[in-house]
Amino acid sequence: MSATIQQLLDNPEDLISQLKFNDAGLVGVIAQQHDTQEVLMMAWMNKEAIMETLSTGQVCYWSRFRQALWRKGESSGQVQALVELRWDCDGDTILALVDQTGVACHTGRRNCFFNAVRDGEVSIIAAVETDPQTLYGPKNFD
């Protein structure tokens, strides 16, 4: 970890004061593959998840369903290495540039946005690349 990122972690208000957390203490996060620019997924972080992501270099979300930190890929191995953390003009959405190992979606697809209106009809536009059973066994997400 660089000396400057350690300084930011020691005194995170430079970052945190620019973010607008919602009533649940969360900010939306878009994960984008840093080189192909594919949008992989959308999730949420609280302050603790942001700090962990910056300190470890591995993306950590907040699971609204489990009400717990969600270290992406902890059980499946489909981790996201952080490349850069950005946020928008009004501070309520983060854009995380990441390097995704394997597939981002719990369905085994590379990204979560596989439903579309295409040719005027609702369609599934991406195939499953990895059987979710091989990723999770009896579990069904992370």
Footprint of a second copy (CB under 8 A): 2-8, 14-15, 18, 28, 30, 32, 36-39, 41-42, 54, 84-93, 95, 105-107, 109, 112-122, 125
User: Closest separation between CB of residue 69 and a second copy, Å?
Assistant: 19
Q: Tell the residue number behind the tokens 């928008």, with chain if given.
A: 88
Residue 8 or 79: the one with the smaller Cβ distance to a second copy is 8
Pairing of the two strands 27-33 and 93-100: parallel
Q: Tokens representing 81?
A: 């290495």
**Residue 56: how many CA atoms within 13 Å on its side-chain side?**
15
User: Closest separation between CB of residue 101 and a second copy, Å?
Assistant: 18
Residue 92 or 130: the one with the smaller Cβ distance to a second copy is 92
C-alpha 73/C-alpha 24 separation (Å) is: 24
